[in-house]
Structure 1
Amino acid sequence: MAEAFTEYQEVGVTDPLRQGDVLEAVDAATSMWQRHLLIITADCDFAHAKHQGRVTCVPLLTADEYLTEMQVPKIRERLVKKRLVAIRATLSRAGAPGISDQRLREWASEEPPATIIMRLGLEGPTAQQARADFEAIRMIDAPVSNLKESIDSLVEAQLLGKGHPKRENALKSVMSPLQDAYVRPPGDALFLASIARKLDSGYFAYLRHLEQVWEPEISIGQRRIEAKYRRISRIRDRFTHALVQRFAMVFMSIGLPREYEDLRDLYSELLGDDFK
């Protein structure tokens, strides 16, 4: 019988600490950013003690944690923006005073939609649609405790008001970007199906968040009283190298000032003007 595929390998107590090792916090109450860590400190730094005892790591978040923290907010912003555009159009037609998007969004969470509609003085079909838009924003921004609740609220919010999509299309608009995060993850993350024995529910290494652990606080063999982390596995070299390469690309990009970008765009537009 063929051995099941895993991205990690077992590691012995005599194997030295190295890049790709997975650490697990001894304290079960540790935050998701510190619960499971992947070492990215280079092997040569360990060999020559260049790291001065500081072991640099990136967090390994569960798939639900990563999607909820990093991908759901993008979907939420897209759906809220669509509702805000509709509300602004409604207010413009009704001759109501201009209100910023930020204030409209805050208002949706502060007061019931019916109260907001009354304060705006809207009536009839216009009032009904505006109320649905405010209810949708309120639902989208409502606190949730897990990924399933997030998905449910984002889908249900799309079904409020006239001209709403079919449920299957509303679900697809939410699920497609979440599923894409597995197949085509952004450059600052890498999916791993399993990171150690019995830890095979799906994880994302998130490369924009760094943690440092003192090497003496890491147990690789016999448990030590002062240990805050224990090594539980080692990610195979191919995946470790891919992750470190992604990490380098994330921080290799150099951002330039907004003023420069505005001036650059102006020169681009001026060139276009010469040929009109």
Structure 2
Amino acid sequence: MDYLSDGSVMASDYILGISDDEGIRQGDVIRSLPAGNDAQVRYGFIITADCDIAQNKASDQFTWLTIVPAEQYLDLHWAPQQLRRITEKQTRVACEKLNGRITRFSAGLTPLDAISLQKWLTEATPEAIVAAVESSDQELISLLACVKLALGYGSSGSRLADLRQAWSLLGRSTRAQQAAVKEAFDSERGFPDFVLVPELPMANGYGFVILLRSISTIHSEELFRSEIDARIVGKPDAFHRIGRFSDGLRFLVAQKLAFLFSRIGMPTEFELACEAATELLVDSLKIDAGGQ
């Protein structure tokens, strides 16, 4: 049976049992314990290639990727992105609805754009704005409340909770919300900048996310092979190894990292031209209604 460096049984086949005597390698999972009451446990993934470590090409520096609990990823990374999308889309929809009312019934008001509407929301409630255009449309009030919340006004302090409330204001069902959260971890959609792992060695909870864009370096003297080594030298809160991912998982992370930063972006005009060409192709493939 395999064991981890603290003597516990190996958690799964993607977390390897290692000895404290082994040197730091790519795929090692590292941890830093809290230094104060307000601090949090920090986790990382060593991404420096084994050949660079062996040949000392990294100048005694290790490159590592931040790992966070899945719930923290949703709250601090994914939910803000979703709220920005809601702001962009629903602000446009709200402007169209309000400007329609302004054109027909409120000649004294200037037509709104995204900037002026968002500024108005900082000064007035959704109900007051709707009343100003001589309306009592509850759906429009909910839409404006959604935009205001997405902008961060009246936030609960959790952006994930704000997102769920914004979805509810838009009429999105609980089942649809749960499906959207699951899609957040779909690594096959688009160009993901994360890798989800079910668990970490010596860590509570399930679901942790390796952030491929959160890249840092640490000097070899500040990274210890075990928690015991860190405590011996009087640095209990220093980074130390708590386990190692299997070759398959570490290679997967390295591959996704390389793919993420090797993509070549094209100008907007080129992307639009590709979309137009695709639409023309789809139109040319239409089959007559009477065809087979």
The answer, yes or no, to whether TM exceeds 0.5 is yes
Change (3 A) 1:112 1:6: farther
Change (3 A) 1:8 1:106: farther
User: How far apart are 1:135 and its partner, in Å?
Assistant: 1.7
TM-score when normalising by structure 2: 0.74
Please identify which structure carries the higher helix content: 1
Q: Does 1:133 pair with 2:143?
A: yes
Figure out how many residues of one structure are paired with residues of the other and give that number.
255
AA in 1 matched with 2:74: L
- The CA distance in 2 between the partners of 1:152 and 1:266, in whole Å, is 36
- The CA distance in 2 between the partners of 1:149 and 1:265, in whole Å, is 35
Matches within 5 A, 1:1-276: 5=12, 7-28=14-35, 35-94=42-101, 95=103, 96-118=109-131, 121-126=132-137, 128-142=138-152, 143-146=155-158, 149-158=161-170, 165=171, 169-184=172-187, 186-221=191-226, 222-223=229-230, 224-226=233-235, 228-256=238-266, 258=267, 261-262=268-269
Change (3 A) 1:55 1:249: same
Change (3 A) 1:237 1:67: same
Identity %: 19
User: How far apart are 1:49 and its partner, in Å?
Assistant: 0.5
Give unpaired runs (5+ residues) of structure 2: 1-9, 104-108, 281-292
Give unpaired runs (5+ residues) of structure 1: 159-164
User: How far apart are 1:149 and its partner, in Å?
Assistant: 2.1
Q: Are the counterparts in 2 of residues 195 and 235 from structure 1 also a CA contact under 8 Å?
A: no
Aligned match of 2:290: none
Aligned CA-pair RMSD: 3.2
Question: After the TM superposition, which of the residue ranges 146-155 and 173-182 deviates more from structure 2?
Answer: 146-155
User: How far apart are 1:88 and its partner, in Å?
Assistant: 1.7
AA in 2 matched with 1:136: C
The higher-RCO structure (CA 8 Å, 6+ apart) is: 1
- The CA distance in 2 between the partners of 1:75 and 1:111, in whole Å, is 24
Q: Are the counterparts in 1 of residues 75 and 160 from structure 2 also a CA contact under 8 Å?
A: no
